[in-house]
Chains A and B, each alone.
Chain A
Amino acid sequence: MADFLHNGWSLFIAGVTLLGILACGLLLYSQSKVKVKVGADGQPLPVQTTGHVWDEDLVENNNPLPRWWMIMFYLTIVFALGYLILYPGLGSMQGTLGWSQVGKYAQEMKAGEEKYGPIFNKYQAMPIPALAQDPQAREIGERLFLNSCAQCHGSDAQGSKGFPNLADTDWLYGGAPETVLASIREGRHGQMPSMAAAVGGDQDVRNVANYVLSLSGSSHDPIKAVMGKAKYAACAACHGADGKGNQVLGAPNLTDKTWLYGGGLNNVMDAINKGRGNMMPAHKGILSDAKVHLLAAYVWGLSNRQATVAGISAGDARAMGKLTGVSDTPARQ
């Protein structure tokens, strides 16, 4: 564990440590006796001052300390040596107990695993739709979500620009429980290359963008849209001839009003000109499978409110709002 470049350094440090302890012992021993003057009667004189005086009349006396105190000083030396034998501390020596920070960490994790493992294992054995109905599982899922997912997707899972909304019913890759699980575990890499060259010149890009906007009934220039329709063929390979997208590729549906990067002409032109790249990191190495399973159930439950008990958590309410059109947020999944 000790990161010494050379064993000599380890010995040097160990030597300094031991010498220091030894010096403390010698100092204690040498200072535990004092020479005192003897009076005329052959008896040592009563307590004398050390000769130090402050504030004119405050003197330091030479009163003896209690013996148990000195013994305790020696005990600290015994303690130090005992500690150095048992624990790492003497150069690169490991200590006979084999204690290490990494070992301690592993031990704590193991203890945690033993304590919480059964709970997680119970849930991992349950199918996701059933978990989405279990209040405790949803609570655990929500806490996991707030810790691990909310940084991007938002505390209410409704995403923001570039981060998909998980609480609506639009899915980039599909909303089946296994698909959600796969998204979390393996991550997703959404890519749209720059299509400017494939579409043509600047004017063509503008026209195609207008056509794309027309698919979802967003405000657009109808003449330009008609002119762009033919050029849309370049996009149809992924987004489909009808613009309904392709969940195998994760190509978004262009006929709804859910925009991952925002709607409107400029945003769509940006996408055609520059392409889009998006990355959801894989969580399989970060969270245990059981936790991913719980998270998938929580996320799936957000947009499948009939599968969850109403009123359990805010997620349901949001899903309800979603379906009743109270909240329309331009993000898709």
Chain B
Amino acid sequence: METSPPKQYSQQEIEQSLYEVRKKIYPRALTGWFATWRWILVWFTQIIFYGGPWLTWNDRQAVLFDLVSRKFYIFGLVLWPQDFIYLAVLLVISALALFLFTAVGGRVFCGYACPQTVYTEIFMWVERKIEGERSARIRLDREPLSARKVALKGSKHLVWGAIALWTGFTFVGYFTPIHLLAEEVMSFALGPWETFWILFYGFATYGNAGWMREQVCKYMCPYARFQSAMFDKDTLTVTYDTVRGEPRGPRSKQADRFELGMGDCIDCGICVQVCPTGIDIREGLQYECIGCAACIDGCDQVMDKMGYPKGLIRYTTEHAMINKLGRRDIWRRVLRPRTLIYFSILGLIILAAAMSLALRQPLKVDVIRDRGMPRATEDGSVDNVYRLQMMNTEEKPNRYVISVQGINGVSIVSESQFEVAAATTKAVPVRVRVPAGAAQPGSNRIKFVIQDTDDQSVKITEKAVFIVPR
């Protein structure tokens, strides 16, 4: 980036807008190793996204975020509001994974897995099928309006709109059971919020993948900003090998470039034409670069045609470029303190989350002592009343038996067995009695033990306080 103004300029000034109109980018289609990987990830992520809501489990949708009843179903797992910590854990895991991948391979998330990239890829494929290749698209845009242009553009937007609406529909299908949603769509009986979110998410897909594209990465995306800050000298980035490539210039395939004193770059411009953000990678790493490696695929094909070795543009690190490191040294430096620390923290958190999910009891209990004065009965024994809020998180009804311990002779003098229906909450009153003189005046610690009558492993212990009047 040229930052210092040239020495000679006139004293003249002109007024210029601080804003620029977007210059449309026409990325050239290409195939190659990295492009194939991107398509694999497109298929992988989108089969999960579009297919997810259609799976069934336990006679219900397998993945359903039921906001109304405040339960998230993920296959066999039912998450309640009390499990919100797992969402925080998921975000922490995602963030750490992003740190790790970025430290190792630069903006790999951006280049291969980001929804913006994935949907742009899908939309560009549609565009290419309908309007044709890069040059054809440029020509079409320059043409005056004609029946053919309207037909092409119209059909493209129709297909885009269909994909976008289907995406919005799928998205809402994670919150409203998708079969029900489909019926509602068919019978025009969508609720106002469902309508809004389908259209909103659809419009966002259409706008971002159809129109905004690289503008999202360049101007809106926060990840783009801070991912660049996580690079270091050993981060693999898409790099043009200046030493090998320069001086660039066209030449015949038969010519000996060493005799001509030329570098390997034949200045064909393929790398610029395939770039979805419209930059020239040969000027070095720029903030617009999303690490999609399209220029690597493009350049490698040209190098092949020329009979030159591949890798004029390749994934490499700053260290490797400066110190002329080989592949082995580059890979050895992937294991550096930074990545190891990310990796171990990530591993620990994933392990802890998995353990916690595995050991999660399908029963939650809150004990709330009635605020009324404890009651001394005729024979001097004392009663306290508690309200136990029992949450059965399993998808079948369960019976629980409640017992109490912690003071000599403490017992429950009310009903101590309760049935709680499947995936519901029930508040039950429990009266606890302590014989005369068994506990000190003031507050005494007791424990409620709540046990599933069928399943011995489901057992919860909750602390509580028993008050004896002075």
Contacts and interface: CB of A to CB of B under 8 A. Distances in A.
Interface of A: 31-40, 44-49, 59, 61-62, 64-70, 143, 146, 150-152, 154-161, 163, 257, 262-263, 314, 317-318, 321, 326-331
B415 A314 contact: yes
Interface stretch (B18-26, B69-77, B347-355): B18-26
A155 B429 contact: yes
Contacts of B405: none
A67 B22 contact: yes
B3 A155 contact: no
B17 interface: yes
Contact of A318 (B6, B14, B378, B414): B414
Contact of A154 (B16, B418, B429): B429
A44 B19 contact: no
A163 B18 CA distance: 75
Given A36-B14, A65-B18, A150-B387, A321 B8 contact: no
A146 B425 CA distance: 14
9 contacts: A35-B16, A36-B13, A37-B9, A46-B2, A68-B215, A70-B19, A150-B387, A314-B428, A328-B377
A29 to B, nearest CB: 11
B372 A68 contact: no
Interface string B411-448: 00111001000000001111100000000000000000
A219 B14 CA distance: 108
Contact of B16 (A44, A150, A318): A44
B375 interface: yes
A31 B377 contact: no
B129 interface: no
Contacts of A150: 370, 387, 429
Contacts of A257: 378
A317 B431 CA distance: 12
A63 B215 CA distance: 14
A154 B377 contact: no
Query: 7 smallest A-B Cβ distances: which pairs?
Result: A155-B429, A317-B415, A156-B429, A160-B372, A64-B20, A155-B387, A38-B12
A61 B1 contact: yes
B372 A64 contact: no
Contacts of A65: 18-20, 219
Contact of B10 (A38, A152, A314, A329): A38
Nearest to A49: B3
Given A33-B18, A45-B6, A155 B385 contact: yes
Contact of A35 (B2, B13, B427): B13
Interface residues of B, number: 46
B15 interface: yes
Contacts of A157: 429
A146 B18 CA distance: 64
A64 B17 contact: yes
A314 B418 contact: yes
Contacts of A44: 14, 16
B201 interface: no
Nearest to B376: A262
B17 A160 contact: no
Nearest to B7: A40
A67 B19 contact: yes
A34 B18 contact: yes
Contacts of B428: 314
A59 B387 contact: no
B300 interface: no
Contacts of B16: 33-36, 44
Nearest to B10: A38
B39 to A, nearest CB: 29
A45 B17 contact: no
Contacts of A330: 375, 377-378
B383 interface: yes
A321 B377 contact: no
Contacts of B4: 49
Contacts of B372: 151-152, 154, 159-160, 163
B418 to A, nearest CB: 7
A154 B10 contact: no
A290 to B, nearest CB: 21
A47 B2 contact: yes
Interface in B373-407: 373-378, 383, 385-387
Contacts of B19: 32, 64-67, 69-70
Given A150-B387, A163-B372, A59 B8 contact: no
B10 A39 contact: yes
A36 B17 CA distance: 10
Contact of B9 (A35, A39, A151): A39
Contacts of A154: 370, 372, 385, 429
B250 interface: no
Given A155-B427, A314-B418, A328-B378, 15 more contacts: A31-B18, A33-B15, A35-B13, A36-B16, A37-B5, A39-B6, A39-B8, A40-B10, A62-B18, A66-B218, A66-B219, A68-B215, A321-B414, A327-B414, A331-B375
Contact of A69 (B1, B219, B427): B219
A46 B13 CA distance: 13
A94 to B, nearest CB: 24
Contacts of B17: 32-34, 64, 67
A59 B3 contact: yes
A33 B13 CA distance: 12
Nearest to A64: B20
A257 B377 CA distance: 11
A156 B431 contact: yes
Nearest to B218: A66
Given A65-B20, A150-B387, A330-B378, A37 B12 contact: yes
Contacts of A68: 22, 215
B345 to A, nearest CB: 28
B378 A66 contact: no
Contacts of B414: 156, 314, 317-318, 321, 327
Given A31-B18, A35-B14, A66-B19, A40 B9 contact: yes
B328 interface: no
A143 to B, nearest CB: 8
Nearest to B374: A160
Contacts of A46: 2
B148 interface: no
